[in-house]
A and B are shown apart, each in its own frame.
Chain A
């Protein structure tokens, strides 16, 4: 079945360190992936996306890596700040008739930044 999973429910890092959040997906046909950040009481906030014709994409302090061979996605956050504390979700777009546009989310990883 469809599933997108994150490897760790909670990640605790020191302020200023780099953070790496991992995600495994199951559908090898997926060609669009997104990372969202969700703070308590708010809706998911877009961080960065990547399409399957790329294996790396960089944004401001964030990098997404896509390894299609092992169906693995990761989000790297450089110089983690207290404001980065949140739940991070990876999502893939569904494939097949009636599924395009449907985002399938993982369970989420909680990032805790220690001052």
Chain B
């Protein structure tokens, strides 16, 4: 176990709705990264948060947004859900922002109908 926890485990939403996913980082880690993993694919980087600020973003539209809190936990928010947003959303924490091992949580499975 990595010590990274995510909630909820599974979620079903309908197109156009909004969703918030949560992540608690491993103790001592100040950096959280979010990834989207479609079925049968490798994870795709969404963004990274360090000390409550966004520190890098992948090729995702602005309706994907995030927050990091003073205790380094994080939220991923997705507005105006689309069918293609159905995926496993993974959170990873690391002790620093770069060149350091990222430890993943179990993920949240989001299904958009």
Contact = CB atoms under 8 A, between A and B. Distances in A.
B44 A101 contact: no
A43, A51, A94, A104 pick with most chain B CB within 10 angstroms: A43
Given A43-B90, A43-B106, A44-B90, A106 B98 contact: no
B53 to A, nearest CB: 13
Interface string B85-113: 00000101010011101111111000000
B104 A107 contact: no
A27 B33 CA distance: 21
B56 A43 contact: no
Interface residues of A, number: 27
Contacts, number: 71
Interface residues of B, number: 29
A42 B106 contact: yes
A99 interface: yes
Given A89-B42, A108-B42, A43 B105 contact: yes
Contact of A43 (B48, B98, B107): B107
A83 interface: no
Given A42-B106, A43-B90, A105 B101 contact: no
